[in-house]
Amino acid sequence: MKPWVAPLLILGLIVVNLLLAKQNLAMRQQLRAQADAVNPAGQSLKEGEVVASIAGVGLDGRPYELNYDKIDASTCCSFFRQLARTACSKPRSGEIF
């Protein structure tokens, strides 16, 4: 092996690492600028705000539309409570999920 190969490889790795560090800093600045432009609190729902209905297909294959104006708070809480119970509980024998 030639004596100049090892120093050349080391120099090449140093250059590549410096370029990657520069790219990393540039990407962090871009992400920081985008994060400042997006304000999650400004995009969240406020009390009394009207939400459009969502249309889709139910598990049985029939069309289903979720109208938020027809759902009262107890129904929403019950729905989320059931989701939390399903997500947190261990499946019983014979259950798929």
Q: List pLDDT tens digits, range 70-89.
A: 665 555 544 444 444 544 44
Beta-bridge partner residues of 55: 65
pLDDT single digits (tens) 31-83: 888 876 776 666 677 777 777 888 888 888 889 887 776 665 555 544 444 44
If we measure between CA atoms, which residue out of 37, 65, 31 comes closest to residue 51? 65
Examine residue 47 and state whether it is found in any structural domain, yes or no. no
Give me the domain span that covers residue 13: 5-35
* Residue 45 falls inside a structural domain: no
* Within a domain: 42: no
In a domain, 96, yes or no: no
Residue 69 inside a domain? The answer is: yes
Is 48 within the bounds of a domain?
Answer: no
User: What pTM did the predictor assign?
Assistant: 0.39
Instruction: Give the total number of structural domains in the chain.
Output: 2
- Find how far residue 15's CA is from the centre of its chain: 35
CA distance 68 to 44: 16
CA–CA separation, 49 and 27 (whole Å)? 36
